Structure 1
């Protein structure tokens, strides 16, 4: 079993939940002690409509816990309607294993998530598609842009018009 402890919960106490909430993820070990760390407060991003969390995961006997598993647990814990509005990232396993720490963002809606999240995180969560470009196209664009300075550089980077 793995104990997941939310170290930083939002100031607005999303949907009546308090700080320091924890829940179990099934694993290979049956008994786990809880973390003694004190929960702290983090800000609520009003302009983003998102809760910011630092997630502390205790997982003895397991190498790590998958992000999909964490998203599922956070969905149930915070009673989120759409699991696509939850983003977990930057998880690092502590030396010796058994514990990982990472960040999480819970947006009020998927539209807000698409508006404020970086493109690479949207691609990782399946909310956007990656545009594949060839090496030659990227190099041609770079070399065209090198010849021009200022505002015109963005137009020069576009594909050359055929006559």
Structure 2
């Protein structure tokens, strides 16, 4: 894991999201762990802001293994779309479990509900990980519609959105 790469990614993410309401990141799968480190570096640098992390790529349990005690990130709540469909049944204060990544409307409702709980004056961030994975479980047309609706809702509610597309191979 290259610290220079992670620091560079973190800097680019921070400056891009400050400039634009929505940022799309396309990356090879081999750089995915570095991107996660960079994203959570951004989360840690903005402890008073609200972050919602929608994950269809990794179960919440993997984030706990990767980052250890996720309570060190009290400003982020996960929406895990993959654990329940894999048969993992658990509860956690920092995670909402969705039954399946095919439940796109429920994902939107849960994200919206979490973001309305943002304290006054705090910035709001939404990370969608990843469009690539959602297309495995859903018709691409439905994912496109979901994505447009999610981004329009985010824009209308002044939420900064970060969308990931992970490419296969190296």
Structure with greater strand share of residues? 1
TM-score category (smaller protein) = under 0.3
Query: TM-score scaled by structure 1?
Result: 0.25
Which structure exhibits the higher relative contact order, with contacts defined as CA atoms closer than 8 Å and separated by 6 or more residues? 2
Query: Greater share of helix residues, 1 or 2?
Result: 2
Question: Taking structure 2 as the reference length, what is the TM-score of the superposition?
Answer: 0.25
Report which of the two structures shows the higher radius of gyration computed on alpha carbons: 1
